[in-house]
Chain A
Amino acid sequence: MTQAFWTFIALVSHWRRHPVNFGALFVGLAIATALWSGVQALNEHARASYDRAASIFGAGGARSIVPTRGGSVSQDLFVKLRLAGWKVSPVLEGTVRIHGKRFRLIGIEPVTLPREAGVAVVAGEGALGAFLKPPGRMIVTPETLRELSAAESVAIVIDGGKTLPPIEALAAALPGALVVDIGVAQAVLNRPEQISRLIFKEPPSAVAPPLATVAGDALRLVPPREEESDIRRLTESFHLNLTAFGLLACLVGFFIVHAAFGLAFEQRLAMVRTMRAVGVSARTLIVAMLGELALLALVAGSAGVGAGYLLAAALLPDMAASLDGLYGARVAGQLALDPMWWISGLGIAVIGSLVAAGGGLFKAFYLPVLMAAQPFAWRQVQQKFLWRRSVLGALGIAAFLVAHFYGKGLYAAFGMIAGLLLGAALLLPLLLDGVLRLGEKYASQPLAQWFWADCRQQLPGLSLALMALLLALSTNVGVGAMVEGFRKTFTQWLDERLVAEVYFEVAGNAETQQIEAWLEKRPEVSAILPMSKIKIRLGGWPVDIVGMKPHETYRNHFPMLSETGDAWGELQRGEGALVSEQLARRLDLALGSTLDVPAADGQWRVRIAGIFPDYGNPKGQLRIDIDRLMRLWPETPRMGYSLRTAPKAVPELIDALQTEFGQQISQISDQAAIKNLSMRIFERTFAVTAALNLLTLLVAGIALLANFLTLGNVRLAQLAPVWAVGVSRMRLAQLEFLRVLLLAAVTSAFALPLGLALAWQLVAVVNVQAFGWRLPFHVFPAQLGQTVALALLTAAAAAIWPIIRFVRITPAALAKVFANER
């Protein structure tokens, strides 16, 4: 124990004398942990929110009965079921807008509601009385209260003019939801006597007839966890993408740890030899090194986990907005994490450090004592690993090819990317060595010959940092090209899809005829395009069936990926349907395929007449003629309208509509506002990715800086002989700078094709697997140029300080190198 302790003290004393190297190692480890735990914090937090949302009706074994065809049904069915012995409680769900923001409104009946249901937040007789007695109560979480910009006991007026009951904030309430009495909800949502769900806990009495006997096919029993798995399944791809980027950034961070610890080991070779010579056994040395590593991992890991929390808190609003915008999944705005998250963050730091430094420890254990006495024995050994590394690289590429040809699913797609990136990174030293050999071969001047040879000599020490740079740059190119390509495609798609000048939603079904009649009389309105929507399940997936009018506007502009010769004619005749790309992929539908759709009066068989892109929509969509939809599902209300009019008539038309119909119109916007909103959701969706991308590059820059600093003293011994034979310090500094730029430029030259391959993987494989849509592949030359510039800038920024240190060194200090020569 004494031996291990004093060996540990001697090892640790190295860092006191090399604080910058320690800083690089500490920061590398902390950043790796922060990026990983930050991303995990976001995922965990979001999943916890989904679970909470899903358990709102299903907790404690409570079950739900919902309308088979979505929407709502008459509350008479509730009465019938109660009378038949089903102890059900009615719920009405809907959406209200407050200051333009969407909120989920849930109306409950607290007396019959099973106490186990998560939505049963009204407890105690006093609370129950206040909830039921006018003006009632609206239960929200404290976070939702902040989102509403309101105070407790305040009665909020929703967009459209109706007033909600006074607010009461409860921590146990559902994030993003407003819980009110069902009567209030029916009035506010303008759905009198309607219910959207029935909840029950106790099984129906033995004499109670089956559900179908009481309600026909109007209601269905929701299988346990169906709703939870829906949101989980829809958002899984989003979280997997996030995890993949977090993992990549974390990997780059551990490259720093690997490089820094390896270099520190090299620096401490003499010390290791001395310790071995004075009686420290290999076992004690390894124990002390492990202790040092574990302590470092715990301290830096704690800092990393803390930084990860801050990172997650900073990125949470963007992620929450993306999840809300894309999937309608509400995520609580305040990070609340399980203690296991903190422990697992530290675990990652410790395990990652052991793996990153483990190879070095293993080699240290088997390195003969006398071998350790030779300077750079580590590097000599490392040279032998060059080929082994290349073989591993080739295996990585082989894994990529196997996954490419035989893999299926999103995990295979990510496996493919991992194989490609790691394989290429491991092959980088060999490729760089080849390029530098060529340079050396064609150099004729002695200084140039030395320069190329010196670059090659530096390769083993710098290879890990350059590999990290390669990974960061290729990710930058790949993700950048994917996001830019997506932006370009998305913008074009929005332009084609949103051709109408005015869009509005209606609050209820009753007034739509009046509204249509009023619009028909308006001379400035050239086309009224109504839209209805019904939710069903196809092949286990939630699907929206949208009814639309096959008007010229759509015939000329609606973007399609493929269509039959008479797609719109088929649609109009009720024979054909248009299917979204993601639904076509999920259900394996092609043009001309037939699809059986469960309708109100049995199965409806329809032919696929067209496949259209539907970017950003996690749900599948089937578009059919609106009249056909009304015949198949007669109860379906009109959801909204698109209006064609002259652009200059838009403001006046919107004003007139609002004046005439007031709260009957729940949401009205012009084309520009909708495009703006869509682009905003798009930008926020990729904000997290962009932040991780930038951080990964920053980590690579730190890896380079750490390497340059750690190699600083070694470099002095290598440069001093060249200086001694008459090359000035300034010239040597220039050559040092050139060397760094050269290595960064060659690395970025490899990063560009690798990044483009990654971009192709992302758009053609990952997006298809994750979201169900395939994007066109674009190459952006300006972006590639920008990446090369970024690489050079990163390398130059990392190299500048060590070079300035070298320029400032006194001749006496340089001469000292020879004084210490052995």
Chain B
Amino acid sequence: MAGETRASLLRVAGLKKSFTTPQGRLAILKGVDLELDVGSSLALMGESGSGKSTLLHLIAGLDDADEGEIFLDDVAVTRLPDFGRAALRRETLAVVFQQFNLIPSLTIRANVAFQARLAGRLDPVWREELVGRLGLENLMERYPEQLSGGQQQRVAIARALAPRPRLLLADEPTGNLDEATADDFIKLTTEVVAATGCAFLMITHSKRLAARLERQVTLSSGVIKEL
């Protein structure tokens, strides 16, 4: 990728966020600056409680920042109302959580199609391709509880990528998986992400897995540092 110029997709500038605790206000993010280009991948590392998930939630529009700006495709996420942020999550980005967060009452087929249907852009050919690449063909009529953790996380990835998002956010997606399954998962995910051309931001504690992505940064004392 060296030498190749890619347009900027995500730009975070001077982002601050603090929480009220019994001991008073606790500043988690103290002015985060971060950029992510179209189609690139980034591993976000840091100690527990350093604010990685908070940063991801702010980027996804799941929470409000105290200060600073987040631009996604030149859209100021921080200034969008709830409805606009929901549209952004539906159409521009996708989130994968550590707990998979599949809808327990829907079959795997319905789960995979869910977000794409919401966005109004379900492409059956692309869905089948995703299902094939992620090895979910024989699981489509099952329910989430009938799948192993690794299988559920693959379904979560399929659901996230089905609407062809511009940015995939993953919050410790391998936290509940064993090492071999985690390796498998990262390999598959990076391949599929590369095939779609979407950018990928992953929170992880594993340096080994982080090394599989293009860039690695750490969040420490409320600011981003390149590794």
Q: Across the two chains, which residue of chain B brings its CB closest to A371? A: B63
Q: Across the two chains, which residue of chain A brings its CB closest to B98? A: A822
With A and B bound together, what is the CA distance between A277 and B168 in angstroms? 12
Q: Across the two chains, which residue of chain B brings its CB closest to A5? A: B117
Spot the interface stretch: B23-31, B80-88, B130-138.
B80-88
Contact of A278 among B57, B89, B104 (CB under 8 A): B89
A residues less than 8 Å from B143 (CB atoms): 17
Does B62 touch A at the CB level, under 8 Å? yes
Which of A14, A15, A274, A369 has the most chain B CB atoms inside 10 A of its CB?
A274
Contact of B115 among A18, A271, A279 (CB under 8 A): A279
With A and B bound together, what is the CA distance between A6 and B87 in angstroms? 15
Does B210 touch A at the CB level, under 8 Å? no
Asked if residues B82 and A278 are in contact (CB atoms below 8 Å), the reply is no
Q: Across the two chains, which residue of chain A brings its CB closest to B63? A: A370
Asked if residues A278 and B87 are in contact (CB atoms below 8 Å), the reply is no
Asked if residues B89 and A283 are in contact (CB atoms below 8 Å), the reply is no
A residues less than 8 Å from B103 (CB atoms): 10, 13, 271, 274-275
Asked if residues B62 and A10 are in contact (CB atoms below 8 Å), the reply is no
Q: Across the two chains, which residue of chain A brings its CB closest to B101? A: A274
With A and B bound together, what is the CA distance between A477 and B121 in angstroms? 61
Asked if residues A279 and B117 are in contact (CB atoms below 8 Å), the reply is no
Q: Across the two chains, which residue of chain A brings its CB closest to B119? A: A279
Tell me the A366-381 residues at the B interface (CB within 8 Å): 368-370
With A and B bound together, what is the CA distance between A271 and B89 in angstroms? 16
Does B18 touch A at the CB level, under 8 Å? no
Does B77 touch A at the CB level, under 8 Å? no
Asked if residues B106 and A270 are in contact (CB atoms below 8 Å), the reply is no
Asked if residues B105 and A14 are in contact (CB atoms below 8 Å), the reply is yes
With A and B bound together, what is the CA distance between A6 and B118 in angstroms? 6
Contact of B87 among A7, A271, A277, A279 (CB under 8 A): A279
A residues less than 8 Å from B85 (CB atoms): 281
Does A437 touch B at the CB level, under 8 Å? no
Asked if residues A281 and B86 are in contact (CB atoms below 8 Å), the reply is yes
* Nearest-Cβ distance from residue B127 to partner chain A, whole angstroms: 14
B residues less than 8 Å from A491 (CB atoms): none
Asked if residues B102 and A274 are in contact (CB atoms below 8 Å), the reply is yes
How many contacting A-B pairs (Cβ < 8 A)?
Answer: 85
With A and B bound together, what is the CA distance between A255 and B87 in angstroms? 36
Asked if residues B91 and A273 are in contact (CB atoms below 8 Å), the reply is no
The digit string for B105-144, where 1 denotes a CB below 8 A from any CB of A, is 1100010001101111000000000000000000000010
A residues less than 8 Å from B60 (CB atoms): 277
Does B99 touch A at the CB level, under 8 Å? yes
Tell me the A261-299 residues at the B interface (CB within 8 Å): 270-271, 273-284
A residues less than 8 Å from B87 (CB atoms): 279, 281
A residues less than 8 Å from B86 (CB atoms): 276, 279-282, 284
With A and B bound together, what is the CA distance between A622 and B90 in angstroms? 81
Asked if residues A280 and B90 are in contact (CB atoms below 8 Å), the reply is yes
Asked if residues A822 and B104 are in contact (CB atoms below 8 Å), the reply is no
B residues less than 8 Å from A369 (CB atoms): 62-63
Does B52 touch A at the CB level, under 8 Å? no
A residues less than 8 Å from B71 (CB atoms): none
With A and B bound together, what is the CA distance between A822 and B114 in angstroms? 24
B residues less than 8 Å from A277 (CB atoms): 60, 62, 89, 95, 97, 101
Q: Across the two chains, which residue of chain B brings its CB closest to A10? A: B103
* Nearest-Cβ distance from residue A13 to partner chain B, whole angstroms: 4
Asked if residues A370 and B62 are in contact (CB atoms below 8 Å), the reply is yes
Contact of A282 among B57, B82, B102, B110 (CB under 8 A): B82
* Nearest-Cβ distance from residue B99 to partner chain A, whole angstroms: 6
Asked if residues A279 and B105 are in contact (CB atoms below 8 Å), the reply is no
With A and B bound together, what is the CA distance between A281 and B91 in angstroms? 12
* Nearest-Cβ distance from residue A95 to partner chain B, whole angstroms: 65
Count of A residues near B, CB < 8 Å? Answer: 30
* Nearest-Cβ distance from residue A815 to partner chain B, whole angstroms: 15
With A and B bound together, what is the CA distance between A822 and B104 in angstroms? 16
Does A522 touch B at the CB level, under 8 Å? no
Q: Across the two chains, which residue of chain A brings its CB closest to B102? A: A274
* Chain A facing B: main interface SS: helix
Asked if residues A13 and B106 are in contact (CB atoms below 8 Å), the reply is yes
Does A3 touch B at the CB level, under 8 Å? yes
Does B94 touch A at the CB level, under 8 Å? yes
With A and B bound together, what is the CA distance between A215 and B110 in angstroms? 87
Asked if residues A278 and B90 are in contact (CB atoms below 8 Å), the reply is yes
Q: Across the two chains, which residue of chain A brings its CB closest to B94? A: A278
Does A810 touch B at the CB level, under 8 Å? no
Given A3-B118, A370-B63: A279 and B82 within 8 A (CB)?
no
The digit string for A15-50, where 1 denotes a CB below 8 A from any CB of B, is 111100000000000000000000000000000000
Does B16 touch A at the CB level, under 8 Å? no
A residues less than 8 Å from B97 (CB atoms): 277
Contact of A2 among B57, B82, B83, B117 (CB under 8 A): B117
Asked if residues A279 and B63 are in contact (CB atoms below 8 Å), the reply is no
With A and B bound together, what is the CA distance between A283 and B87 in angstroms? 12
Given A3-B90, A278-B89, A279-B89: A17 and B105 within 8 A (CB)?
yes
Does B159 touch A at the CB level, under 8 Å? yes
Asked if residues A283 and B83 are in contact (CB atoms below 8 Å), the reply is yes
With A and B bound together, what is the CA distance between A2 and B90 in angstroms? 12
Q: Across the two chains, which residue of chain A brings its CB closest to B99? A: A822
B residues less than 8 Å from A18 (CB atoms): 105
With A and B bound together, what is the CA distance between A271 and B106 in angstroms? 10
With A and B bound together, what is the CA distance between A14 and B160 in angstroms? 21
With A and B bound together, what is the CA distance between A216 and B143 in angstroms? 91
The digit string for A321-365, where 1 denotes a CB below 8 A from any CB of B, is 000000000000000000000000000000000000000000000
A residues less than 8 Å from B88 (CB atoms): 279
Asked if residues A10 and B114 are in contact (CB atoms below 8 Å), the reply is yes
Asked if residues B91 and A279 are in contact (CB atoms below 8 Å), the reply is yes
Given A6-B114, A281-B86, A282-B82: A370 and B57 within 8 A (CB)?
yes
* Nearest-Cβ distance from residue B93 to partner chain A, whole angstroms: 9
A residues less than 8 Å from B159 (CB atoms): 278
Asked if residues A278 and B114 are in contact (CB atoms below 8 Å), the reply is yes
B residues less than 8 Å from A15 (CB atoms): 105
Asked if residues A10 and B90 are in contact (CB atoms below 8 Å), the reply is no
Asked if residues A280 and B57 are in contact (CB atoms below 8 Å), the reply is no
* Nearest-Cβ distance from residue B176 to partner chain A, whole angstroms: 8
The digit string for B52-64, where 1 denotes a CB below 8 A from any CB of A, is 0000010010110
* Nearest-Cβ distance from residue A269 to partner chain B, whole angstroms: 11
* Nearest-Cβ distance from residue B222 to partner chain A, whole angstroms: 19
B residues less than 8 Å from A14 (CB atoms): 105
With A and B bound together, what is the CA distance between A771 and B198 in angstroms? 79
With A and B bound together, what is the CA distance between A279 and B110 in angstroms? 16
A residues less than 8 Å from B63 (CB atoms): 368-370
A residues less than 8 Å from B94 (CB atoms): 278
A residues less than 8 Å from B105 (CB atoms): 10, 13-18, 271
B residues less than 8 Å from A3 (CB atoms): 90, 118, 120
B residues less than 8 Å from A7 (CB atoms): 118
* Nearest-Cβ distance from residue A650 to partner chain B, whole angstroms: 74
The digit string for A800-822, where 1 denotes a CB below 8 A from any CB of B, is 00000000000000000000001
* Nearest-Cβ distance from residue B34 to partner chain A, whole angstroms: 20
A residues less than 8 Å from B117 (CB atoms): 2, 6
With A and B bound together, what is the CA distance between A17 and B63 in angstroms? 31
Q: Across the two chains, which residue of chain A brings its CB closest to B160? A: A278
A residues sitting closer than 8 Å to B (CB atoms) are 2-3, 6-7, 9-10, 13-18, 270-271, 273-284, 368-370, 822
30 A-B residue pairings within 8 Å (CB atoms):
A2-B117, A2-B118, A6-B114, A6-B117, A9-B110, A10-B105, A15-B105, A17-B104, A18-B105, A271-B103, A271-B104, A274-B101, A274-B102, A276-B86, A277-B60, A277-B95, A278-B118, A279-B86, A279-B88, A279-B91, A279-B115, A279-B118, A280-B86, A280-B90, A281-B86, A282-B86, A283-B83, A370-B63, A822-B99, A822-B176
- In the complex, the 6 A-B pairs of residues with the closest C-beta atoms, listed nearest first: A279-B90, A281-B86, A279-B89, A13-B105, A17-B105, A274-B101
* Besides the known contacts A6-B117, A280-B90, A280-B118, 11 further A-B residue pairs in the complex with CB atoms under 8 A apart: A13-B106, A17-B105, A271-B103, A277-B89, A278-B94, A279-B87, A279-B91, A279-B119, A281-B86, A282-B83, A822-B99
